[in-house]
Amino acid sequence: MESAIPLHLETPRTRHKRVPDDYQPPYPSFVARYKPSVNRVVMAYFGLQYRGTAAAAATDALAEIAARFAAEGGPSHWDRAQYVDQAGYENVVSVAYWDDIARFDKWFASAREAWTGAQPEGIGTFIEVLRPTVARHETLFSSLGRPEGVAAISGGMSGEVQEHAYWGGMRDRIPLSQTGPMSPGGNPELIRDGARLRVKAHDNLCLIRSGQDWSDTETSERKLYLDDVEPVLREGMDFLRDDGLGIGCYANRYMRVLAAGGDASEKSYGQSWWKSLAALERWAESHPSHVRIFGAAMKYLSTLGPSAKLRLYHEVTVAAADEQFFEYLNCHAKTGMLAAVETVAA
């Protein structure tokens, strides 16, 4: 049993973790382990928004960003996911990960210009970037052997960690929780730059990417996931998307991961922006929409036990104000962090 907080990020505590030192989680979980030399990571979401009539232009844009990812200075890992949003637009989000901030900065300038500088008629684009220090970040995996998201660039996974399977484990896994409450500072503001809209959020904004992979499940387990768990998960994701603002969720996307050829894979993830880690904690712990998800997942896992083939993971970041970048071009007003600021109508 090891701590989710890596040794080199342990600091003298001014804040206690939520469980006693002899706490034993009831089942194993694992976290991504970066090399100690990695101080920051970058997670950059490149979104594309369109309706069917602009499908050809969308395909071109997706091919172009993929080519940029493959070029000099590009990410160590990226993946792509798709969803239809609350306004009926098709969205494709390509998320890319770097563990070298200098390499990202050099790569990013021209990529940004190409992605949100100008796009053909009917195409909206956005860029949402966090570049947190690793002390502001945590991951959790239900099983080994298939890293997802930022963990794909970490180079390794932990053994069984202690800080999970209790409410508060997410916070306790973030190294900064040893010394700080990570309280939010201020409200998101809109900045107009011609056609581009930028959102300046605030200190300790929180991002979660929370995913599930049912590709290894067979017959009865697959049926249980698709019939009993997924609909409850979708309902919770829809709640966050449509009514999350009142509880501190600025935006939520529940997306299907696309395989290399562009077809839907048997993986999905929710990506949401939160006013604070505390707001995310409160929703997860006590809101009916997540209590139902938790109940369904619990029933699923207790039915299947260790034989469950469903893979679950998440990554959570609490970003400092200067670790964030949000930019939108020709997107509707409910897109990402635009939903968090006053109406963007001119």
- Mind telling me the catalytic residues? 314
Please tell me whether residue 23 binds a copy of itself under the rule CB under 8 A: yes
Comparing CB distances to a copy of itself, the nearer of 181 and 262 is 181
Can you say how many angstroms the Cα of residue 133 is from the centroid of all Cα atoms in its chain? Answer: 16
Asked if 299 interacts with a copy of itself (CB under 8 A), we say yes
Query: Is the Cβ of residue 8 or residue 15 nearer to a copy of itself in the bound state?
Result: 15
Helix (H, G, I), strand (E, B) or coil at 134: helix
Q: Which of 49, 276, 317, 335 binds a copy of itself (CB under 8 A)?
A: 276
- Residue 18 binds a copy of itself (CB under 8 A): yes
Instruction: Give the pair of three-digit tokens for residue 45.
Output: 């979401």
* Residue 118 tokens, joined: 């100008």
Residue selected from 36, 120, 159, 181 as contacting a copy of itself according to rule CB under 8 A: 181
Report which secondary-structure segment, H or E, holds 283: helix 277-286
Beta carbon of residue 164, minimum distance to a copy of itself (angstroms, whole number): 11
Given a contact cutoff of 8 angstroms between Cβ atoms, the answer to whether 208 and 319 are in contact is: no
186 is an interface residue for a copy of itself by CB under 8 A: no
Our CB check for a copy of itself shows the closer of 18 and 256 to be 18
Smallest separation, CB 296 to a copy of itself (Å): 10
* In contact, 244 and 212? CB cutoff 8 Å: no
Q: Closest approach of Cβ 298 to a copy of itself, in Å?
A: 6
Q: Pick from 3, 54, 31: which is nearest to 138 by CA?
A: 31
Q: How many CB atoms lie within 10 A of CB 241?
A: 20
Give the type of residue at 317: T
Mention every residue, 6+ apart, whose C-beta is less than 8 A from residue 40: 99, 101, 131, 132, 133, 134
With binding defined as CB under 8 A, does residue 26 bind a copy of itself?
A: yes
Collect all residues with Cβ–Cβ distance below 8 Å to 88 and sequence separation of at least 6.
51
Nearest approach, Cβ of 184 to a copy of itself (angstroms)? Answer: 9
Which of these segments, 66-74, 122-130, 227-235, 297-305, binds a copy of itself (CB under 8 A)?
297-305
Closer to a copy of itself by CB, 112 or 282: give it. 282
The footprint of a copy of itself on this chain (CB under 8 A) covers a number of residues equal to 27
Q: Is 11 a binder of a copy of itself (CB under 8 A)?
A: no
The residue among 3 and 82 lying less far from a copy of itself, judged by its C-beta, is: 3
Whole-angstrom distance, CA of residue 29 vs CA of residue 313: 9
CA distance 309 to 222: 9
Of 23 and 122, nearer to a copy of itself (C-beta) is 23
Strand partners, 255: 269
Q: How far apart are CA 206 and CA 137, in angstroms?
A: 10
Provide the residue count of the chain.
346
> Which residues share a beta bridge with 128?
45, 326
Binding mask 140-179 for a copy of itself (x = CB under 8 A): -------------------------xxxx-----------
Query: Binding a copy of itself by CB under 8 A: which of 16, 106, 192, 223?
Result: 16
Within 28-87, the residues that bind a copy of itself by CB under 8 A are none
Q: Which residues bind a copy of itself (CB under 8 A)?
A: 15-16, 18-20, 23, 26, 165-168, 181, 183, 276, 278, 281-282, 285-286, 288, 291-292, 294-295, 298-299, 302
